[in-house]
Amino acid sequence: MLLSGHAEVTGGDSVETGFVVRVRHGAQSVVGVVGRPPADAIARALDNITDMTPLLAQVGNAEYIQRTLDGSRPERWSGEAAIMHALPAPDRTLHAPRPAPDADIRLLTSADPLDHLPPGLRHEMTHARLLGPVGAAFADGLPVSFCYPVWTTEALWDLSIDTVETHRRRSLAASAVAFMVDHMRRDGREPVWGALASNTPSLRLAAKLGFAPVGQIVVFSKGQWAYLTGGF
């Protein structure tokens, strides 16, 4: 988030003092809390955000964050654990199946149509391809499964996937993931897979592809977060 070029920081200036990072850029809107910053710093970061903006926090500080939200916000916020995964070292092998024989896997371009997608996914992909590379699996000439980096650091990228419901269970998502893992590795970046603890399909796919749990964070929300709850 700090590397995005669109971060606003409130509160302290170190992990010890705690601080809050807010990013608002295009379709991206997220707040991250590090440590235990003052309640007013959290409140300032949450002013004028959308109902779909998540607040991310460390597990050890989740109770503090919940008390702060309960005491300072008129709306109800709720938190849920998100499990973070990575490909195990040293080989970091991805267990991806072969692409479906009728599927074309490539980067999404500005010329590729999106009108056939449901509204939430169309909105997400419209903005995602403006912000960075998007791997897509095509069926009958149309993009139907997507994988792209929501955030990148010097060595990691946060993986996001989605597939049109009528084209699921055809290994298209796995093929799109494999394509993007290879694409991002050319820049020396390894994938990180985050999924809510209640998102069983995402957890199953992560395990199937060889990802292993490496940690947890807590995601707070006051409404549906489009990128974790399946769209608007």
| Gyration radius of the chain over CA positions | 18
Half-sphere exposure of residue 50: CA atoms within 13 angstroms, side-chain side: 14
Q: 26 has which bridge partners?
A: none
What's the pLDDT at 47? Answer: 87
- How does residue 187 score in pLDDT terms, banded at 50, 70 and 90? very high
pLDDT over threshold 90, residue 13? no
What pLDDT does residue 228 have? 47
The percentage of residues in the chain with a pLDDT greater than 70, rounded to a whole number, is 93
The arithmetic mean of pLDDT across residues 140-165, rounded, is 92
Alpha-carbon distance of 105 to 21, in angstroms, equals 35
Quick one: which of 192, 198, 185 has its CA closest to 215? Answer: 192
Report residue 232's pLDDT band, with 50, 70 and 90 as the boundaries: very low
> Which residues on adjacent β-strands are paired with residue 106?
136
Contact 203, 73 (CB under 8 A): no
Question: In this predicted model, what pLDDT tens digit does every residue of 75-91 receive, in sequence order?
Answer: 888 999 999 999 998 88
Tell me the domains of the chain and their CATH numbers.
2-76 (no CATH), 104-214 (3.40.630.30)
How many Å apart are CA 202 and CA 38, to the nearest integer? 34
Kindly state the helix (H) or strand (E) to which residue 22 belongs, with its residue range.
Answer: strand 19-25
